[in-house]
Structure 1
């Protein structure tokens, strides 16, 4: 039996996930198909690729060699896909965009609505994630990220400075001392929001932690505690009150990023140009300048 790409993918998936069940799920095949295919591959190679243990499948030396070959093939396929995507001539096709949940909920949907109306041939796949997806592996084509500095392997645009401040309920007290707090957890923004709150909250006064910025404003509105919020979100809510100026320790920058191989692809360029155009008038709000009333 001649081996093909799917055989290498299966062996790599089994090695990465430690067994047939999870590998089959990842490849959208059933367990019995994965079992038969692995047996056929091993028979074709006349080599055992995995040791079967109660704890899972462990690659043999032959298995590890095949996994390394699969990884090289996967890299070549991804690189080729990026190159071909960059050569497309019209703003059409699927575009995978990733952004944090809070940004999607508070800012992005109206912009996406206008983008879809302008470019009806582009189909968006929006990946809502607090984690920085790997653009080099095509986990996404374009990323909107709050960061102090983007990775050197990516290219893009600086859209806006993002200011944060402490907010409380609009009908609550105006002081900060002696208050309960809500806080992002250590996994958000590298933990600096959590450290900011910890340094200011009295012992035992952090009443709620969230592993995302989404829901933080609602927690403050509900009176659970005061907490840090992006000024654009906090200032837009009539039920919230800013308890001080923007906090320099929490400031960050909003970037629009893509892989260098994709920056000239028409659909990527169309999205990046559109987002830069649409967010330009919003920069003062991102930066914490209060809107005129």
Structure 2
């Protein structure tokens, strides 16, 4: 048997980790960007050189042996060490330049952030934005993204940032169906036809409200995006809760009740602690915070359509130099 220290290479650890996480060769091949036969051959060569089996082959998938578990654990530590080193390098950038990966959801991007991002790109042309749409939390520790812009009341404890605003929600209906919306009680509204968010967004406070207060037979339509929910209300399918900053910009919609504080959620700008001193991260967070502050009353449901310009109105604020606050 060969000396294991001479037989092993960095890529061998990555191979074992990929197979273990995918529980098979096909998934590992996709992760590594190679074909199935290459993964099969490399694993066979590695086990032969070590004189040990790293996986037990079962009908349910590949299961790590004791030796394989040790190798995967070391691979995971190596992966984290590399990610930590990459974050520290990124955090030492001296000028706002390079690529910045930002994750957010489609609702915020379409109705709030795209005009802000456009102004940022025009003002800080040395920074290239890579926007990733995802409702689930990406792993900023492994730099799946550098900045997360999230609607949440519970930001991850391992991230730092600022609460830029509070997103207000209210119950809306089609304006044509409610020519005189004033004076409607909750009892009146519960007798109407409703639309609701899908079960995948059931943890949201507004989703719980509809689920707990509205009779199930009155909920005639569910959709798993806020954008789709807005379209459904505007189409007259039913009434439902919507973010004020979206619904108030649509003349075809009307508030049927004041914004409900129980529906509100925070708008957070987040990054990893290792990146908070990065020039491009700091410049981006400060810029977005300033832009969001300009339309904060609309986001928080305090401004009517006539009170302030649309969110995509052009502005050219000065760049801020302060760092993101924890």
For the aligned pair, the TM-score class normalised by the smaller chain equals over 0.9
Question: Are 2:232 and 1:219 aligned?
Answer: yes
Q: 2:9 aligns with which of 1, 4, 11?
A: 4
Question: Are 2:39 and 1:21 aligned?
Answer: no
Question: Are 2:81 and 1:76 aligned?
Answer: yes
Question: Are 2:211 and 1:198 aligned?
Answer: yes
SS in structure 1 at match of 2:295:
helix
Aligned partners of 2:30 and 2:154: how far apart in 1?
36
Aligned to 1:235: 248
Q: Once the 2 structures are TM-superposed, how far is the Cα of residue 189 of structure 1 from its aligned partner?
A: 6.8
Aligned to 2:320: none
CA RMSD of aligned residues (A): 1.5
Judge conservation of contact 2:202–2:208 (CA < 8 Å) in 1: no
Q: Once the 2 structures are TM-superposed, how far is the Cα of residue 193 of structure 1 from its aligned partner?
A: 2.2
- The correspondence of residues 51-70 of structure 1 with structure 2, limited to 5 A, is 51-70=56-75
Per-residue CA distance 1:173-219 (angstroms, 9 max, x = gap): 34523211111134327242221112332231112222232311011
Aligned partners of 2:270 and 2:73: how far apart in 1?
29
Q: Once the 2 structures are TM-superposed, how far is the Cα of residue 292 of structure 1 from its aligned partner?
A: 5.0
Q: 1:143 aligns with which of 148, 156, 168?
A: 148
Aligned partners of 1:4 and 1:213: how far apart in 2?
48
Question: Are 2:125 and 1:120 aligned?
Answer: yes
Aligned partners of 1:55 and 1:203: how far apart in 2?
40
Aligned partners of 2:45 and 2:125: how far apart in 1?
46
Q: 1:87 aligns with which of 67, 88, 92?
A: 92
Q: Once the 2 structures are TM-superposed, how far is the Cα of residue 5 of structure 1 from its aligned partner?
A: 2.4
Judge conservation of contact 1:130–1:212 (CA < 8 Å) in 2: no
Question: Are 2:98 and 1:109 aligned?
Answer: no
Per-residue CA distance 1:24-57 (angstroms, 9 max, x = gap): 1112111111111111211221111111112211
SS in structure 2 at match of 1:255:
strand
Judge conservation of contact 1:186–1:192 (CA < 8 Å) in 2: no
Question: Are 2:197 and 1:184 aligned?
Answer: yes
SS in structure 2 at match of 1:23:
helix
Q: 2:42 aligns with which of 34, 37, 43?
A: 37
TM-score by length of 1: 0.95
Judge conservation of contact 2:249–2:305 (CA < 8 Å) in 1: no
Which runs of 5 or more residues in structure 2 are unaligned? 1-5, 307-326
Whose radius of gyration is greater, 1 or 2? 2
Aligned to 1:279: 292
Q: 1:269 aligns with which of 282, 286, 300?
A: 282
Question: Are 2:174 and 1:172 aligned?
Answer: no
Aligned to 2:317: none
SS in structure 1 at match of 2:227:
coil
Which runs of 5 or more residues in structure 1 are unaligned? none
Measured at CA, do residues 148 and 191 of structure 1 come closer, stay the same or move farther in structure 2, by a change above 3 Å?
Answer: closer
Q: Once the 2 structures are TM-superposed, how far is the Cα of residue 163 of structure 1 from its aligned partner?
A: 0.6
Aligned partners of 2:213 and 2:296: how far apart in 1?
28
TM-score by length of 2: 0.86
Aligned partners of 1:37 and 1:163: how far apart in 2?
55
